[in-house]
Structure 1
């Protein structure tokens, strides 16, 4: 909780920064001061060591002077040796004993007196010649004979006097030859007292090394008689005063910590005085002072942090209010008031800005709420539009229930809620089936509206169109009207003869269809015209083919071939054909569903960018004998061929058991129509033809006539005046057309670039047995 406040964090940062600065500055200062303290300690310790060396040197010098004086005096007066030794020992308290040891020879005195100082201070005398071990054979005597100028010998422990001693020997010469020596014994106790009397710092200690590097005296008695470290002896070998730093001292009392050792040579001997001061002792004062200063500094910094915290909290108090109000804004509460800013500083400006933001945010949320409602309403309308658009489309599956010759399966998937792709199919009559697939430019609602208009117009115009190209032409003219937005639609239209499997197709800028059968899948070469809605004078060529059993025609939009994957590669025509060829089934549902599934796998992760439509039409050829064509003829437009054709029609109707009344009606109608075609519909003298198709259905006879002559719509011919006697009519004509319209149950007419097209239907509810 403490660190959640800006004031507390700021105070902590100030404290941490100040402590860091204090620590760095203190460290640098301590380093500089420590160096000065160390130099000062070196000077003081060197002086102390020199002073102690001088004191020892003075004491030893008195011993040496006494011995040398005795040697000079006793040399010519050897008989007075005992008296002189006693007087000298009594005057010099540093001496523990004096001896005049002569070489046993005739010219020397018979005794070698030795005067020693006892524990109680009395003097005791004895003759060295009476010792069990002859002294003239001992090393101290033999070495002393060579010390004509005097020398200090190795220290030793006296068993009789129970103490460490060292002796100074001076040879007694006669005629240039040593005849004996004066040996002065000195107790090391006075050296130890000198070390103890030194004013050493706390933790410091002293020692004296002899010429062999052995401790003569040491503040730690356990080290007396031991040899010093090699590094210590190397520094002690220098004649002048020196110092050395040892990382680990030999004395256990130093506890393994670094020490500084200061050496001072003792003149007149080869001994070295050493003063040892632990490094921690040298820096102890500086550390204590630094610790006190650091503690005071920390207390001052802590006080500064407290003051900073108090001041910062007071300054930033409005920020706390703003933070709580911001939390209310996060919860959606905007109806509150902010306290007035006390100063026009950054906090005051922030308070004013926050209040303006609250007001603007409330207005923005209100606007967003209105937009959300509008979006919800629009989504609802889009959903309704989707339902309406779906309702405009026929079902996905269609199976011809009348003759079961063909089956259709269609799939449409818009890229948005509503789209511009379309498909439609419907029966034009009992025999002709119309199917179409289209793709409107653009997407969304405009494309959906244009698609709805296209389907509505197509269904309205289809009954008047004989061929797909005629339907596309009429539909194009209608779509070009009032098309200020220049929208267009590509459309592929086909009309299927449900009895023969003949399919006529025309394309308005649409993708070519695919024909699938046992030999694989291949594109149908189909010439195309302009897209609908762009040019009202555009023409649309047609292509006719006859579907074979188990063939499937696939119509699709560019949403299939232009589907892209995550690498922006398109599905393409080759993948589509390969997918259709791999399909094990040639049914309409399997081909359409399999192709769409393959496109989904290809474009997985990339999203659908365009509407997709697939329509598959499978031809089964399940026509029975009842609905089979009776007559399919193409004749020249001549009278002879017309009457010969009428006779063949009558014979065919009779063979199918059509009643005589119906046969007569059909003959009369066909005669009237074909004779008019020959006599009044000629465009050129020769080369014109008439196509006749006759089929017998349930309860009706269906006849189709096609003539490539002048256009003439019998449905538009005026009715003749039938009042009075027909023989009295002044004008002849129009009666035959009237009879045609009266005798045919149904009559339809269309005209295109291929000529006139008539469809007639005659009812015959009862059939007689066919005559042989």
Structure 2
């Protein structure tokens, strides 16, 4: 299964199908969204036109009704009509207007000539006949009715909220009222209100005919949000759009109601409050009476055709994808079959079988060239491995020889500590860590006549075998040239002359060579270009031994070196080292430096010679962390304790 998953054919098929799938999803998604946008735009336009047509029908009828009380009010303001003329006027308009169920002229008390108190004739239709009554208190106190009081107080014509017929609660009525005035010298005094009453049954029939898709419907709300028409009968005259929004905790419906009552129109997506399904709702105002018409379309019905088309496209594309997978798999296998054979042959080569036959490719394409390259690689690899085996054997021999050289080099250096266990005047310890198997650093110490301790430390230029050989020669010459009566400067000068002869490689060595008089603590020394040693007193600061200005050994023949002296105090510690310590670099290419070394030595006043050597090497390694060692590291400590007692 893992082999199948990692095969080139599977990867090729997967890669091609992934790219095609991404392209398809982008095109399909973009097409779906664009189609949806066009569909919503067209539906919004159709709904808007349908709503406009419905609203126009309603407003034509309402405008026709409004003209009746407006005309009567005009005649009352401009003519002194008798009671008989008023009744004839009411009868004429009530009979001639089909939508009107009754007309009233209600005067303010004592405002109709010849009548004391209230005067409000009302002509209405009853079972196909016209009847006339006079509205009077207390049974019909019109002065406190909304259709009379509100237009009078607001001084404007207006439609009332819909209400049920007192005599027949199956009928919903609405009244349009117009106040009329007595005008005298520019003053206007309201003397009554003319109102026309209509049955809204025709309005419900018009709204009911507005239907889009299977379950779409329209509804009408008054200017305070009361449902005038709605498919749910319990809502009519019993609920407002705001009470429904509160009941179903629908903030979106509440905002829509507020927008509708402010005369706005829009096409919005909502959650239908009864069935909790997404719907699209278009709403717009009726200019005549500030009511609003709403048209609802279920989203699933609106998108049904688009969703059906989308499913067909997905099915056809899935079938196409299956055929594409079959075709690509066939082609991929045909292309990769030769590569599979080559892979099997290379597995044999990787296992060490160089006799395997590379399959022949008869085509003249890249696979054929690859097979030829593999065959050439097999031959070259066989030759390379044969050469590598010879090189490895030679390298192993060299490594063995270098290991022996390392052991020989370490063998010529003092490595037993303490070297003079019976001597209490001093404590001595040293260590070398070469950067390679063998290096060019060295140290040495020895006693002469039991009262003089000679010691040296050196650093040969370069690294590796040449430096180690030059170091061995230098160390041997120093020890062989040292006699008790020969000054140190003459010893180093003699060693320098010997090393300068036949020094074709131009190698040189820095040396610090010293001698301590164990009876007095007096230190004679020669510094041939070596790092300045430090004296660490038990009390006081660390200090460097004075520089003599001499050059390294092996550079200039017959060079005369200078002898210098210093007297060590009891418990002084002499710290000698090579530049592998101060020039050690960390991963940021920072040098350990003389400053860091001095700060470290200041903390080591109470350390023994061995502790100081070990701690110094640890300190350098702590600083460089993981950076590779670039030079030999040598640390040599001589701790002067006290002068020897006289025999």
- TM category, shorter: 0.5 to 0.7
| Contact 1:563–1:571, Cα closer than 8 Å, also in 2 | yes
Distance 2:19 2:599 in 1: 72
Deviation at 1:484, TM superposition (A): 0.7
Deviation at 1:167, TM superposition (A): 10
Distance 1:125 1:407 in 2: 142
| Contact 1:188–1:217, Cα closer than 8 Å, also in 2 | no
Is 1:579 equivalent to 2:601 in the alignment?
A: yes
Aligned to 1:164: 171
Aligned to 2:560: 539
Is 1:605 equivalent to 2:623 in the alignment?
A: yes
Distance 1:574 1:137 in 2: 111
Deviation at 1:391, TM superposition (A): 1.6
User: What TM-score do you get using the length of structure 2 for normalisation?
Assistant: 0.63
| Count of residues in correspondence between the two structures | 564
3-state secondary structure, aligned to 2:645: coil
Distance 1:185 1:577 in 2: 110
User: What TM-score do you get using the length of structure 1 for normalisation?
Assistant: 0.54
| Contact 1:334–1:362, Cα closer than 8 Å, also in 2 | no
Q: 2:233 aligns with which of 207, 212, 221?
A: 221
3-state secondary structure, aligned to 2:560: coil
Q: Matches of residues 8-19 of structure 1 in structure 2 within 5 Å?
A: 8-19=14-25
Q: For the pair shown, which has the larger CA radius of gyration, 1 or 2?
A: 1
Q: Deviations over 1:664-709 (max 9, x none)?
A: xxxxxxxxxxxxxxxxxxxxxxxxxxxxxxxxxxxxxxxxxxxxxx
Change (3 A) 1:255 1:447: closer
Q: Deviations over 1:518-542 (max 9, x none)?
A: 7777666585755433334233444
Distance 1:115 1:467 in 2: 152
Q: 2:590 aligns with which of 545, 568, 592?
A: 568
Q: 1:203 aligns with which of 204, 212, 215?
A: 215
Change (3 A) 1:537 1:167: closer
Change (3 A) 1:355 1:164: farther
Structure 1, 152-161 or 433-442: larger mean CA deviation: 152-161
Deviation at 1:446, TM superposition (A): 0.9
Q: Deviations over 1:613-638 (max 9, x none)?
A: 425274642342xxxxxxxxxxxxxx
Aligned to 1:720: none
3-state secondary structure, aligned to 2:282: strand
Aligned to 1:621: 644
Distance 1:598 1:132 in 2: 122
| Contact 1:53–1:273, Cα closer than 8 Å, also in 2 | no
Q: Deviations over 1:133-178 (max 9, x none)?
A: 99998789x99xxxxxxx9999875676674276999xxxxxxxxx
Q: 1:384 aligns with which of 383, 401, 404?
A: 404
Q: CA RMSD in A?
A: 6.4
Change (3 A) 1:15 1:353: farther
Q: 1:296 aligns with which of 303, 312, 330?
A: 312
Deviation at 1:30, TM superposition (A): 2.6
Change (3 A) 1:354 1:418: same
Distance 2:423 2:291 in 1: 136
Aligned to 1:454: 474
Unpaired runs of 5+ residues, structure 1, are 62-74, 79-83, 106-111, 118-122, 144-150, 170-182, 236-241, 625-772
Aligned to 2:501: 481
| Contact 2:220–2:227, Cα closer than 8 Å, also in 1 | yes
Aligned to 1:594: 612
Deviation at 1:369, TM superposition (A): 5.7
Aligned to 2:42: 36
Distance 2:310 2:228 in 1: 45
Distance 2:273 2:427 in 1: 114
3-state secondary structure, aligned to 1:298: helix
| Contact 2:457–2:511, Cα closer than 8 Å, also in 1 | yes
Unpaired runs of 5+ residues, structure 2, are 68-83, 105-111, 115-121, 149-157, 177-194, 242-256
Deviation at 1:294, TM superposition (A): 2.0
Q: Matches of residues 171-190 of structure 1 in structure 2 within 5 Å?
A: none
Distance 2:142 2:595 in 1: 126
3-state secondary structure, aligned to 2:432: strand
Change (3 A) 1:254 1:437: closer
